[in-house]
Amino acid sequence: MLDIVTRDMFFPHLDKKWVLEDGGGGYLELTLVKADPMHRTKIALVQRMPFLLIFRGPSDKIANEGTYNLSHPIVGTIEGVNVVPTMDLMDPDYPGARYYQVIFC
């Protein structure tokens, strides 16, 4: 399913809850805070416009870099998503929150 994922699948669900599942019964509830387009690569094999997702998670539970399933009640489950912890966005409304990025090229 990763080859058909587009930014348009995520953009309407900004500031909504998503669930990161590790496949072993563990999960982490995240909020989608950004769905930004990226510059298109010149590699001919790339069919979609690349985009970056940023999710905010709780301060008391951490997801390590790895491959997860990402679920949303409307979008469904997207399997095999590579998630990377990223720097704190220093949002004063969410002190101590942890942030994660997902890039689709």
> Hey, what are 69's tokens?
């399933």
Supply angle C-alpha 92, 9, 23, rounded to 5: 80
Contacts of 4 by beta carbon, 8 Å cutoff, 6+ apart: none
Asked whether 21 and 27 are in contact (CB, 8 A), the reply is yes
pLDDT of residue 79: 95
Distances (CA, A) of 24 to 20, 21, 63: 11, 8, 13
Largest Cα span, the chain = 42
Q: Torsions phi, psi of 26, nearest 5?
A: -85, 150
Domains and CATH numbers, the chain: 2-104 (2.40.10)
- pLDDT tens string, the chain, 105 residues long: the values are 687 899 999 999 999 999 999 888 889 999 999 999 987 666 555 566 889 999 999 999 999 999 999 999 999 999 999 999 998 878 889 988 999 999 998
pLDDT of residue 47: 66
**pTM score, two decimals?**
0.89
pLDDT of residue 42: 61
pLDDT of residue 44: 55
The residue among 61, 41, 42 whose CA lies nearest residue 51 is 41
